């Protein structure tokens, strides 16, 4: 089957070229499916031409078989009419068509066998394309998983560079220092608030002493007044 051998060579050449570049496996796989479908379309056209040739040979074979049968019928008519010479001529013509029948039958049988082989090859090609489509999704999934794993390994590899982690630790220490300063300021504010409260208490104490002194003075003045009035 020269046709399918040629198709296989073309597809193989295209596959090798794309794989050698291999920029994007997913893109390559998609393009390969497109190439396969294009070759399938061309193959179907070739098979259709072969089937058309088979049908043409079949029609011509049937025509020659009918011609041979018609001349045989003419020979019988001539015999019945008592004209043996005419019957012989009719039989000669029948023989010519019999030879055509034999030739066309041979060509038709060969073409029919070729067509069946082409149909079988076409079915195999279709099956392979269907299988390739199924495998494509699996291969793409494997590719994406491998890429994800590669990114993880790159991240792990970059983690060996401790500069980022050291900077993170320094920032954490800075945050701790800011928090400590904030707590110290709060404690200082509470301390200052305690001193103010202490001063307030002493002032209240002093205020109480003054009131007592005033009361004592008033009591003394009342006593003096009472004495005077006596």
Which of 4-8, 110-114, 135-139, 145-149 is the least confident region?
4-8
Instruction: For 14-30, write each residue's pLDDT tens digit.
Output: 555 545 555 677 787 78
User: In the chain, pLDDT over 70 holds for what percent of residues?
Assistant: 72
- The answer to whether the predicted template modeling score (pTM) of the entire model surpasses 0.75 is no
User: Per the structure block, which two tokens stand in for 61?
Assistant: 């074979």
Print the SS3 string covering 9-25: HHHHHHHHHHHHHCCCH
A 10 A CB-CB count for 70 gives: 14
pLDDT of res. 151 = 81
Domain boundaries, the chain: 2-160, 166-230
pLDDT of res. 61 = 96
Instruction: For 5-15, write each residue's pLDDT tens digit.
Output: 555 555 555 55
The matching CATH number, chosen from 1.10.287, 1.25.40, 1.10.860, 4.10.280, for 2-160 is 1.10.287
Question: If pLDDT is split at 50, 70 and 90, which confidence band does 92 have?
Answer: very high
């Amino acid at each position: 089957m020269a046709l399918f051998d040629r198709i296989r060579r073309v597809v193989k050449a295209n596959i090798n070229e794309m794989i050698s570049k291999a920029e994007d496996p997913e893109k390559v796989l998609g393009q390969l499916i497109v190439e396969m479908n294009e070759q399938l379309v061309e193959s179907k056209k070739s098979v259709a031409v072969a089937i058309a040739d088979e049908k043409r040979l079949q029609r011509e074979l049937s025509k020659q078989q009918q011609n041979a049968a018609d001349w045989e019928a003419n020979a019988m008519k001539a015999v019945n009419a008592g004209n043996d010479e005419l019957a012989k001529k009719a039989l000669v013509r029948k023989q010519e068509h019999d030879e055509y029948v034999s030739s066309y039958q041979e060509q038709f049988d060969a073409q029919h066998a070729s067509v069946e082989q082409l149909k079988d090859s076409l079915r195999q090609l279709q099956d392979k394309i269907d299988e390739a489509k199924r495998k494509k999704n699996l291969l793409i999934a494997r590719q994406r998983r491998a890429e994800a794993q590669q990114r993880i390994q790159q991240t792990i590899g970059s983690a060996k560079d401790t500069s980022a982690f050291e900077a993170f630790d320094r920032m954490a220490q800075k945050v701790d220092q800011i928090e400590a300063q904030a707590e110290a300021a709060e404690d200082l504010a509470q301390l200052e608030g305690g001193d103010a409260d202490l001063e307030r208490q002493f002032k209240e104490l002093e205020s109480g002493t003054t009131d007592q002194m005033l009361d004592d003075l008033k009591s003394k003045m009342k006593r003096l007044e009472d004495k005077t009035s006596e």
